[in-house]
Structure 1
């Protein structure tokens, strides 16, 4: 087996390396969440961490890695005699796959022994294996929420309790939890984000010299892993010795009342919720002092701890990325170590003094040819050479939208939108099989009629594999919500586009909370564009929506056909995830009767494919054509006026009718 890539050979991930080391020095910090784009060595450095950690002593033969020096180890294999044999082994790195089940994480009834010997024996799960080691979850943002809750609770309590299938077990589960994620694939819920002790943002280095160094090292490792690892052997041993010294020193580091007050002032200034931020920052500052060989926590330690412990805990909106105000950090901590006055800013405001103007959020461009109509009075005329106007409008304040679901019962990934048969949820029955949570009552009921034929006269129940029944549970699934948005000239009036963007942003926020995948198709001018391929990142969808321009003709057919193409591709990539198509339009299709007929045919194609659809009708004013309602009929879709997307507005309308 080739050598692991050395921890000390990774280039350009200083913050991440520091966060990982501090959590191994003081595991009470609570783990690390690493956020970053793909290809930034997140997995490489985490897997390399275990090789530089000092080895540990464990009780020989104990499946739960108990410490021989612990007078009362929490192990189901105990109690152990005072002279129990011990053995020394390397720290384990246990990887938790995204598709793991709750049984695999917690452990469960040992089915083989239950069936063959009639014994109810506990089979340890991944939490038991990770005790006193590292539990690594790649793509933690794609892990089911209930599994993330289990991991974080175990990491906080230091133990795992199992009460299921006739098994009652409690065992120690103290580990360093490390999660990595790509924010483009979706965010963790804020309450789960807060449970990670530290968080770091990683990105590929922009310095060409560093990038060359990364490539050279990787190519050298791939050519001869053993020789490359030998080159860094001394660095790895020195790192192990330093970690071991810091672990021994951390209990003796002094945290003064003055420093604690400094930490409290900093957390209050950052407007963090709860007290976890203060505790984690204090523990991290102590570990940082121990790592640098100090016996007293300094302002430098507090600053380093705050940069790792507070960015993901500040009060923020759902679509805001985690971050820390460095100027605020300097103001709170800068009194004891004042910074020199900054140099005057160079002309033009640029960092390099080049005088380039600050780029705008978007460029307004023109599309196609003129519609031959006057633009609305509240739309700025940004016509280009073609004569067609284009504008962008910001969304208003979001609201709680009405819940729109996919009809029927699915079998997709667990979420919070549509009905589905899932691994969690309420038990509604059972089925034959060997995969899934065992339904003991139904298993016994299936075996009971065959006991005489199997020769049972007394004693334990005689079971066969065909008797096994697993529980069928009904819960909720997440869906693919694909927005198909009309950005044509008829939608360009400022008030209407603001209403449209507000409604879509509110539906995006709802999709974020329900763990949906989202995509965005827009159509205007003469074509339709896939503005955002289906992704878990509603943050990116919101940013694309914010700069969406409007103007030009209405190629409705092209928009529907592009949506159909995207849904066909996603059906192949993710066949279990059912789609919900949300068409946002006033229903107009310009360019004559041929375009109208093409739109009807495209709508019929989607209806024939049995795509669940919703038409959000954006038509307003005293004179209405009702074209969006006609489109909904051709799509076999639900038709909702944009004013009724809001749950509060719908409730108010119902109350008004009742009165």
Structure 2
């Protein structure tokens, strides 16, 4: 069955352009496609492979070497002289989310290296994608070390495997395309920066366009080959245009004035590092070639900046990507080379005509209703402080700070992360174990030590070491794991004082940022009035949790028991879904229980449902007269009791210093 035609996809001009520019110039660094589910991200990427020109490869080369310019370091080489070659279509290689590192970058056969003294390299997906497309669906769900390896290969054009002192390297030049749904979690900013371009896609709200999408999809499913034939001519024409742009690309000029504009734009948006400037320049050159020009223009730079800069403006995981079109236009205008203008008139000052009207380029002053252009200031929904009072008071969080680190007790075997101790695939070696216990990378020294006593019995005659499977030993490594951090937040009236709730939300936001940095899943349970609700099911999207927290209203009684029971239910269900990820419960409350009969007794009983769960009670009680109810709850939960003022790492340091100095005195 033929893939869906590229030119049959309805709408999404930015994604279409970004994919084409990356195909023209793979040095751009690939494309990250962000968007909600069901927006044809995968369909368009798979269709792109059919537009790429076929490639000539050396016969028998597993690394797709070009016969005209073979890789001198190819593990299957050297390819000297007029090597036999054949032509094949450009490949689209898809990387599954659960792929292991050896499957991605390749692996060395350590047993053959020990027994036969040869380097037997098994190529991975990066080798298969050389001179083609590498597509990673749900790239935000990949382990960070795999994303690092992908982006390193895409940037350097080579993949390297180093293991037990043996190093193998091969060419790996490909167009990297990743897709992700932001609702399922974000990539770290430093990984986002490694993607050349980014595009936000969303489903159309135009009924006519939606009808057209459905009609074409149904027609394709009814007759895939016939539908593809209808668009074969338009796809072929687009493929020819891409090849023409590829031929023109080396001759496109990037003048100094254009480089100055690029530098001015990147500086005005305060992006970190120089990668933004380089990617913008490469994209502008590719766009000029696509437009058939031999020199980069301001329009090329404008298009390149719109695609290359939005994801590089994020300062923390809670920032939304994007750039201001007005700021971009102003930066381009400021960087324009000076040109002689008409002589000054009697009413013209040294800076030009005295004109504050529309089109003068001046920024409109903030209106009385909020920010520039009358938009409400961030943090004041509807322009009114305090938010929507129909469902309770809403108080915004302040600026996040570096939070104190909390760990789950014991040693786990969960997903790789940075919070709690765990037995993982990386980390420091704490022992070795036989192959019957664990599979993975053999431990070289332990394997040699196990095989050495048997060499005489195995008839070794001076050749390589004779290794059998029972000799293999595997490293037992201790590292860090990510956990499920479940916040159970009291949103009752006793928490409703604006100053207190602002402090609470700021502390929880800081803990969310800490969870993001430690690769945790997070969930949010809130309780107020007469019950509790799961405001956010466990997810790796900490920005979604931050958004729910920011909109959290307060008011009503305190159903503490219901909150704890809902937290126990969520942890029980999540334990079935993801049993390897150990939980950390953070209860944010002043300890009061005022909803229903025997509220305090029921809360104590509910605490028993959380027996064995590592818990922290964040005590929000303030003032001179304190009841100590949160400390009592911590005792029943077997939890750490942490006052709200000691959540910050700096505050904890101060407490430790004060206690240490007191003992010394």
Structure-2-length-normalised TM-score:
0.89
Cα 1:597–1:362 shift into 2, 3 Å: farther
Asked whether the 8 Å contact 2:381–2:388 carries over to 1, the reply is no
Q: Deviations over 1:291-337 (max 9, x none)?
A: 12111212211111010011111253431011111110122235779
Measured on the aligned residues, the alpha-carbon RMSD in Å equals 2.9
Q: Residues 109, 181 of structure 1: CA spacing in aligned structure 2 closer, same or farther, 3 A cutoff?
A: same
Give the 5 Å matches for 1:565-644: 565-591=569-595, 594-607=598-611, 610-644=612-646
CA distance in 2, matches of 1:132, 1:236: 20
Deviation at 1:465, TM superposition (A): 2.8
SS state of the match for residue 44, structure 1? helix
| Matching of residues 499-510 of structure 1 within 5 Å | 499-510=503-514
1:258 deviates by: 1.4
- When structure 1 is superposed on structure 2, of 73-82 and 470-479 the one drifting more is 73-82
- Using the TM superposition, give the Cα deviation of residue 537 of structure 1 relative to its aligned residue in structure 2, in angstroms: 1.1
| Residues 488, 554 of structure 1: 8 Å contact kept | yes
Q: CA offsets per residue over residues 423-463 of structure 1, 9 Å max, x none? A: 12122222233632221222233334455665656644443
Cα distance in 1 for residues equivalent to 2:445 and 2:106: 20
Map 1:332-343 to 2 at 5 A: 332-333=331-332
1:312/1:436 Cα in 2 relative to 1: closer, same or farther (>3 Å)?
same
Q: State the alpha-carbon separation in 2 of the partners of residues 179 and 264 from structure 1.
A: 27
| Mapped contact 2:483–2:582 kept (Cα < 8 A) | yes
SS of corresponding position for 1:507 = helix
Residue deviations 1:231-268, cap 9 Å, x none?
A: 11111111111111111110111211111111111111
Question: 8 Å contact 1:121–1:167 — kept in the other structure?
Answer: no
Deviation of 1:131 (Å): 1.4
- Give, in whole Å, the separation in 1 of the partners of 2:544 and 2:87: 48
Unaligned runs of 5+ in 1: 350-355, 365-378
Aligned to 2:344: none
Deviation at residue 116 of structure 1 after TM alignment: 7.5
Equivalent in the alignment of 2:414: 412
Q: Distance in 2 between the 1:511 and 1:193 partners? A: 18
Q: Which string of whole-angstrom CA distances, capped at 9 and with x for unpartnered residues, describes residues 460-518 of structure 1?
A: 44433333322222111111111000001111111211111111011011111111111
Match for residue 352 of structure 1? none
Provide the C-alpha distance between the structure 1 equivalents of 2:358 and 2:51, rounded to a whole number of angstroms.
37
Cα distance in structure 1, aligned partners of 2:210 and 2:376? 29
Q: What's 1:368 paired with?
A: none
> Aligned runs of 1:275-294 on 2, under 5 Å?
275-294=274-293
Partners of 1:57 and 1:88 within 8 A in 2:
yes
Residues 419 and 359 of structure 1: CA distance in aligned 2, closer, same or farther (over 3 Å)? closer
Verify: 1:648 aligned to 2:647, yes or no.
no
Deviations 1:534-553 (A, max 9, x none): 11111111111111111110
Q: Secondary structure at the match of 1:312?
A: helix
The count of aligned residue pairs is: 630
**Alignment pair present for 1:540 and 2:544:** yes
List per-residue Cα deviations over 1:64-95 (Å, max 9, x = no partner): 11111116533121111211111111111122
Q: Tell me how far apart the structure 2 counterparts of residues 381 and 427 of structure 1 sit (CA, whole Å).
A: 53
Counterpart mapping for 1:141-160 below 5 A: 141-160=140-159
Are the structure 2 counterparts of residues 280 and 58 from structure 1 closer, same or farther at C-alpha, using a change threshold of 3 Å? Answer: same
| Residue 553 (structure 1) aligned with residue 557 (structure 2) | yes
Normalising by the residue count of structure 1, what TM-score does the alignment of the two structures yield? 0.90
1:137-165 deviation digits (Å, cap 9, x = unpaired) = 11111211122222212211111222213
Q: In the alignment, is the contact (CA less than 8 A) between 1:12 and 1:204 conserved in 2?
A: no
CA deviations on 1:100-151 (whole Å, 9 max, x unpaired) are: 2222222222357558856331111222222111121111112111222222
Deviation track 1:189-209 (CA, whole Å, cap 9, x = no partner) reads 111111111111111111111
Query: Do the aligned residues in 2 keep the contact of 1:271 with 1:315 (CA within 8 Å)?
Result: no
Q: Do 2:455 and 2:466's aligned partners in 1 also have CA atoms closer than 8 Å?
A: yes
Q: Which residue of 2 aligns with 1:483?
A: 487
User: Aligned equivalents of 1:33 and 1:281: distance in 2?
Assistant: 15
The aligned residue for residue 375 of structure 1 is none
Name the residue aligned to 2:220: 221
